[in-house]
Amino acid sequence: MFERITDHARKAMADARQHALRLRHPAIAPEHLLLGLLSQENTDADHVLHEVGVDRESLRLALQSTLVPGDSAHAANAALPFTPEAKKVLESMMREAAERGHSHLGPAHLLLALAGVSDAMPAQILAKLGADLPALRAAVQTHTTRLERGAVRLLLISNSTMHGGGYLEHCGAQIRDFLGSGRRRVLFVPYALADHDAYAAKAKAAFAALGHELVSVHTQEQGPRAVDEADAVFVGGGNTFRLLNALYERSLLPAIQRRALQGMPYVGSSAGTNVATLSIRTTNDMPIVQPPTFTALQLVPFQINPHYLDPDPTSKHMGETREERLRQFHEEHDTPVLGLREGCMLRVEGKQATLLGTTNARLFRRGQAPQEFVPPCDLSFLLGD
């Protein structure tokens, strides 16, 4: 179980122990888990509480007012057990994740679990505030399926390098126009490649040539805080599975998602484009690591296949073509997939989506023949979720 717990949820459990020690209680109970959860900011649990109209600070104060200090003195490094009720919460946390098909266990699952143990204090307080289990489950469903994307600004690039050119050279003019006038502080996410320093140095030189300052998130002590302080974010290409896994491990995915939904410019290339979509199910990459889930930033309501390759009628290769693999995706899913050939990119401004670049895009939809689109052209119909 514990290897599936996200950083935020793991930190909430560690903080729960500290609250139990501070209150001189003999074991970790559900109320300590809720206090630990409320100490984590900008998590999916925060969004869920906001959806049901519960202020995090009001909930914390309501909980603290019911807690009475005990008389169990422990050393700072003491190992505290979980109460039977807390064990029920952890078991319920796994069920809530499983019912949603999630392999990871995050703050929202912990919140649902706390509301689900009805004889424990947190569930009773949450219910009094209007956040009982049915309301929270509905809010989780709303948060995961209906994101407000009206303010998003995205530049989703198929590839970072074209044959015969340098890094970001073929799309430099589009990036410059997208970021606008004035010097921007761009936060770079290098986690799709293993050598973060070398990757950051290459990206920094490219953005300096465009007139912008680039800072890599791997050099920052607090990644989510660095996202909050950035003017824009650039997520580079490489292995998509490694990238998404790092976004979850470092608690960057909710931070980037929140800022992007508020209008922070997001530039993605290759893997960085993959993670901007609903999921990474249509990446071309090998799963060299296992992220907690395939669910990505969900900044657009469709899938993208970067580096899309057309079938070669002269090839003797007997494996599936890219088109055949995307048809297999549509045997299981209804979501449209936009195949971006190298040299192609999509710019999204709120409800407007424009295909740009020097090559065509190919759109795949379940039960329909693929469609070709020649840039520049309007693809805003893809945003009509």
Phi, psi of 372 (to 5 degrees): -100, 140
Residue 377 DSSP class: E
Measured over the CA atoms of residue 54, residue 56, residue 58 and residue 62, the dihedral's sign is positive
Active site residue 317: no
Measured over the CA atoms of residue 112, residue 113, residue 118 and residue 124, the dihedral's sign is negative
Contact 258, 305 (CB under 8 A): no
Contact 187, 234 (CB under 8 A): yes
Active site residue 109: no
Residue 321 DSSP class: P
Selecting among 8, 25, 196, 307, the annotated active-site residue is 307
Active site residue 270: yes
Q: Cis omega (within 30 of 0) on the bond before 376?
A: yes
Phi, psi of 357 (to 5 degrees): 115, -165
Residue 347 parent element (H or E): strand 344-349
Contact 320, 328 (CB under 8 A): yes
Selecting among 25, 285, 315, 380, the annotated active-site residue is 285
Selecting among 160, 251, 270, 279, the annotated active-site residue is 270
Strands 303-306 and 232-235: unpaired
Catalytic sites, residue numbers: 270, 285, 307
